[in-house]
Amino acid sequence: MTEDMHLYETHLPVKETDLSSRFYIDVVGLEYAYRDLSRDVVFLWIGSNKRSMLGLWGPTTLWGQSRRCHFAVAVALPDLLAAGSYLSALGVVTRDFSGKITTEPSVIGWMPSAQIYFSDPDGHSVEYVTLLDETPEPAFVGSLSAWKARRKMVQPS
């Protein structure tokens, strides 16, 4: 059962569905799916295969009550490597795992994964993440460049 399991949808409360949907379409690259005006909710597809969805709930809806959330979107490593510069050029501040402002992805060694974080217009934390096909190092948390340098040091010559 778990082999084909994946996150199908997640939902975020937003102050303005128009502003937030534009951010997720224009900046994050999600695809418009549906808008229900009677409930002030917008649904967006995550990825091209329609396997995952993000719901944005306006302030007049039950799910739209203000609270900050976090979610991660899996991306390919080349896209992750380009994300910091791309988002920065759009005026979006990117951070590493510790919260430090940077355009370089950080690495969480126990997974291992590389990721970069940024906030949407409502202050929700969005993460682009790539799982690395490397041996885990549970004690490591740091920059991708430090991870790569460390990996070179432990690789046999």
Convert the pLDDT of each residue in 62-75 to its tens digit: 776 778 899 999 99
What one-character DSSP code corresponds to residue 101?
B
CB 23, CB 121: distance < 8 Å = yes
Structure tokens at 18: 């128009």
Residue 122 CB neighbours (<10 A):
19
CATH superfamily of 1-65: 2,3-Dihydroxybiphenyl 1,2-Dioxygenase, domain 1 (3.10.180.10)
Q: What is the pLDDT of residues 11-69, one digit of tens each?
A: 999 999 999 999 999 999 999 999 998 889 999 999 888 889 999 999 888 776 778 89
Greatest pairwise CA separation for the chain in angstroms: 64
Please say whether the structural domain 68-157 has been given the CATH code 3.10.180.
yes
Tokens 């920059």 belong to which residue? 143
Q: Is 62 helix (H, G, I), strand (E, B) or coil?
A: coil
| Predicted structure pTM score | 0.86
